[in-house]
Amino acid sequence: MAQISLTFPDDSQRHYDAGITPAEVAADISTSLGKKAISANVNGQHWDLQWPIEADSSIEINTMKDEAPALELIRHDLAHIMARAVQELWPDVKVTIGPVIENGWYYDFDRAEPFTPEDLGAIEKKMKEIISLRDPVRTEIWDRERAIRHYEDNGEPFKVELIEAIPGTEPLRMYWHGPWQDLCRGPHLQNTGQVPADAFKLMSVAGAYWRGDSDRQMLQRIYGVAFMNREKLKEYMNFLEEAEKRDHRKLGREMDLFHMQEEAPGQIFWHPNGWSIYTTLQDYMRRKQRSGGYVEVNTPQVVDRKLWEASGHWDKYQEHMFIVEVDEDHAREKSINALKPMNCPCHVQIFNQGLKSYRDLPLRMAEFGSCNRYEPSGALHGIMRVRGFTQDDAHIFCREDQIESETQKFIGFLSEIYRDLGFEKFAVKFSDRPEKRAGSDEVWDKSEAALKSATLAAGAEFELNPGEGAFYGPKLEFVLTDAIGRDWQCGTLQVDFVLPERLGATYIGEDGAKHRPVMLHRAVLGSFERFIGILIEEHAGKLPFWLAPRQVVVASIVSEADAYVAKVVEALRAAGVRAEADIRNEKINYKVREHSVGKVPVILACGLREVEESTVSLRRLGEKQTSVQALDDVITALSREATPPDQL
């Protein structure tokens, strides 16, 4: 029998007969490793312990201490165990597919009756029974005819269709978890008992069309989550509970910030409270940009397709654009326009008006640009993922030798804003050329080298994000981590040599000749809508005082204090504080509870004693204690808190 050489992580080598399995290799190394092994990495591929190795290879044996492969196996096995449990409980149910996803898995079923929450409990119980059986997991290779015949005989039409759709003629891998069998690429664990029975939970049921086709059967998709142990599962469930409390959609209703409705999918109806946050944040950004040397512009919403063709968006981005056809007077054919999905081509048009000199550069041009992009309805998510949004967008037209200094300035500018908004740290990702792009490889080489050099010169470490650049240039992505550990990509900086070339932008250099400017696309917040959603969730609705839409409610304890309440409100407003009165004939505890749900930061209660002493009883959101303070002192303190950080 032919011999093969296996190379281990420490570069040592062992020789075996071809066809040896990783299980046999692990047992040969040591009895204990043979018992602990769960899978292997063979030539960088995740490999089942039962699969034979036929050629010289590198190999690494995985145990439960290797979390990434262990979690993949646990979640994949649980998908099969769940499908087995469902068919043991309801033998008439047809199975389809069950892949591993982030934090867990799902499996799609064809069942006449909808699954109920009680059904999920029964399935979980049955799954734990299967795990306790420690049934062996085995695998075989079948030819297609045998596989199709098997599934036809067992009344599994979805599996037959899957096999017929798999390209090529190669044999297929089958897996058994005890007596239950499925078509699967693997790998898997070696018995059902290796799955931790106390570290998984079935979460929900959703509808899903077979193969994503709305003309096909509607299936039922059961989602589950799984982790290495019970403590990790508990951490995740606590995380979900905290995330639910912070959900901007729930808080948006409680705080009366906005709503959305089906007549305007992906568009936001801002209520007065929400619009107060929006305009306060926009005013802050406008002041910051002005002090950062930006000029503000405004460009059209609807632009002829000719500009989008010239810029490259029509070819590279059309699927995300809303097309507008207009019957022009006396035109023989309709004029085709598009709602702008981004502002950059329009900014080049402003740059192109009149001659620009090297002395005019860098020119930092900003716009609170309203954009529209098509997002599938299933991808929409509150105000975080919408079709209509406004960016704090800007483009810096500069010379090549200014890329480094402008990048450094921008990273400092962005850092300052993030600190003001409560984010002390951020991560940086470097996204290089995507498969679908404009411009030559030479231009991309130059763009990527310039941006990397500038980022390092700014002292910002970055991780690579391969293939995720814009179609016209590489980009930096600035990622914030919120209070419960979620990452949000907000700011961006992109180096673009392509668009100035395509749209004919030039400046007169020191040598008197025409040169192309480099265009740096940049945003700090990204979209206002999404960033406001992030802020709401980061602060669980308890926004910084200067951003809170309702900063102070002055509530009467007795009706005799109503006139004093009005006087306090007037004084606060004069001091720049957003204040309102609550003189309803309700108990003070009722008023406090109601305004606390609305996340009002400060409630000032006024009774007869407060009227007589020119004081107020102050209570802050989240605190149980109140304190009686002089009215003048409170106004001074709250006026300072209401001042935006850039104006302190």
Task: Give how far Cα 276 sits from Cα of 64, 279, 320, Å.
Answer: 52, 5, 30
521 is in an annotated binding site: yes
The yes-or-no answer on residue 344 being catalytic is yes
Cα separation, 84 vs 129, whole angstroms? 11
Domains by residue range for the chain, with CATH: 3-63 (3.10.20.30), 68-244 (3.30.980.10), 278-539 (3.30.930.10), 545-647 (3.40.50.800)
| CA-wise closest residue to 46 among 18, 75, 82 | 75
> Alpha-carbon Rg of the chain, whole angstroms?
31
Cα separation, 573 vs 512, whole angstroms? 57
Predicted model pTM: 0.83
| Candidate list 75, 395, 515, 530, residue with the active-site label | 395
Cα separation, 129 vs 334, whole angstroms? 67
| Number of CB atoms found within 10 A of residue 571's CB | 17
Residues 6+ positions from 249 with CB-CB distance below 8 Å: 382
3-state secondary structure of 160: helix
For position 251, what pLDDT does the model report?
A: 96
The yes-or-no answer on residue 391 being catalytic is yes
The yes-or-no answer on residue 395 being catalytic is yes
For position 256, what pLDDT does the model report?
A: 96
Q: Which two tokens stand for residue 233?
A: 């599962």
| Candidate list 188, 248, 521, 522, residue with the active-site label | 521
For position 395, what pLDDT does the model report?
A: 97
For position 118, what pLDDT does the model report?
A: 93
For position 329, what pLDDT does the model report?
A: 66
Is residue 400 within 8 A of residue 450, CB to CB? The reply is: yes
Mean pLDDT split into 10-residue runs, the chain, 648 residues: 90 94 95 95 95 95 96 97 97 94 96 94 97 96 92 92 85 94 94 96 94 89 97 96 94 96 95 97 97 97 92 87 80 81 95 96 96 90 94 95 90 94 91 84 84 84 88 88 89 91 95 95 95 95 96 97 97 97 96 95 97 96 93 97 95
What residues form DSSP beta bridges with 251? Answer: none
What residues form DSSP beta bridges with 225? Answer: 104, 201
Q: Which amino acid is at 120?
A: L
CA atoms within 13 A on the CB side of 639: 15
Query: Tokens 């209401």 correspond to what residue?
Result: 642
| Candidate list 75, 288, 475, 619, residue with the active-site label | 475
| Candidate list 391, 402, 494, 551, residue with the active-site label | 391
If residue 177 lies in a helix (H) or strand (E), which one and from where to where? strand 172-177
Cα separation, 112 vs 99, whole angstroms? 22
Bridging pattern class, strands 269-270 and 45-47:
unpaired
Cα–Cα–Cα angle for 304, 389, 599, rounded to 5 degrees = 165
| Candidate list 344, 346, 398, 490, residue with the active-site label | 344
Is residue 155 within 8 A of residue 145, CB to CB? The reply is: no
Cα separation, 560 vs 562, whole angstroms? 6
For position 330, what pLDDT does the model report?
A: 63
381 is in an annotated binding site: no
Cα separation, 391 vs 364, whole angstroms? 15
346 is in an annotated binding site: no
Is residue 223 within 8 A of residue 109, CB to CB? The reply is: no
For position 326, what pLDDT does the model report?
A: 77
For position 501, what pLDDT does the model report?
A: 92
For position 234, what pLDDT does the model report?
A: 97
| Candidate list 80, 84, 373, 530, residue with the active-site label | 373
